[in-house]
Amino acid sequence: MSKVSPRRTDPRTHTALIEIAAALLATEGPQALSTRRITAEAGTSTMAVYTYFGGMSGLVRQMVHEGFQRLQGHLTAVRSTFDPVADMALLGRAYRMNALANPHLYSVMFGGASLSGFSLTDDDRQHGRYTLTSVVECVANCVAAGRFADADVAHVAHQMWMATHGLVTLELGGYLAAPLDGEALFDPQLVALMVGAGDRPDAAARSVRASRRRIERELTAQAG
């Protein structure tokens, strides 16, 4: 049982490969993702992809996991306030902004876009389902505050997720042409669903509208 610790991998190369791949995916799209492009920009040989990730699929998987983590970070960054309906609007908007900021990555994460032979495993999807936990909590807050009808919380959260996901994916697919763009459709969509969830129409519209100030404040704070 001789324990031999041979040459170790360089963690900087590991992160560099992921970052280069993510940048390539974001700027030039899925077509540009190739072992040769990535490793050339990283200054290594194509073998690095295999020693560090076991292949192209492994690298894509790491990117997807980071994408899930970033999304979750954006969602948990939305604080719970006295107005849970406005919180819900902010959650949806954060979800949409994250998707618009990384459209190709979002497609791989949720759209099922097969990228270089990569396909989601059930384990990967489990990371993605954490998306829902923030929404479930928010719906529970809405019910607790007496704003939503006391329906199945998980069902309502799924409705919110599906509606926002549908809006985002159609928008990314280019199917929401001006002047009916995603921004103009986002509020009515959320309001309609909230009304369906038991909120009174005028209250839902008012609270979504009222959340705009928080939204703009947080966006400018993030940019500055």
d(CA 155, CA 124): 22
Among 10, 40, 45, 129, binds its own copies (CB under 8 A): 129
> Which of the 8 DSSP states describes residue 115?
B
44 touches DNA (CB under 7 A): yes
Per-residue contact track with its own copies, 55 to 94, x per CB under 8 A?
----------------------------------------
Helices assigned H by DSSP within 77-200? 84-101, 103-106, 122-144, 153-172, 182-196
Residue 128 partner contact from DNA, its own copies, none using kind-dependent CB cut-offs of 5 to 8 Å: its own copies
CB 21 within 8 A of CB 59: yes
Residue 125: CB atoms within 10 Å: 12
Report phi then psi at 48, rounded to 5. Answer: -55, -40
User: Nearest distance from residue 42's CB to DNA, in Å?
Assistant: 8
User: Nearest distance from residue 204's CB to its own copies, in Å?
Assistant: 8
Closest CA to 198 of 105, 88, 49: 88
Which amino acid does the sequence have at 7?
A: R
35 touches DNA (CB under 7 A): yes
Closest CA to 92 of 219, 179, 208: 208
The residues, any chain, with a CB within 8 Å of residue 167's CB and separated by 6 or more, are 96, 176, 182, 185, 186, 189
User: Nearest distance from residue 17's CB to DNA, in Å?
Assistant: 9
Please list every residue from 112 through 171 that binds DNA, using CB under 7 A: 116-117
Among 9, 10, 29, 133, binds its own copies (CB under 8 A): 29
Question: Which tokens in the block code for residue 29?
Answer: 């799209």
User: Nearest distance from residue 130's CB to DNA, in Å?
Assistant: 27
Residue 207: CB atoms within 10 Å: 22
Please list every residue from 101 through 120 that binds its own copies, using CB under 8 A: 107, 110-114, 117, 120
Residue 52 partner contact from its own copies, DNA, none using kind-dependent CB cut-offs of 5 to 8 Å: DNA
Q: What angle do CA 214, 22, 169 make, to 5 degrees?
A: 55
Among 34, 72, 76, 169, binds DNA (CB under 7 A): 34
Residues that bind DNA (CB under 7 A): 2-10, 13, 33-37, 39, 43-52, 55-57, 116-117
Residues that bind its own copies (CB under 8 A): 29-31, 107, 110-114, 117, 120, 122, 125, 128-129, 152, 154-156, 158-159, 161-167, 169-170, 172-177, 180, 185, 188-189, 191-197, 201
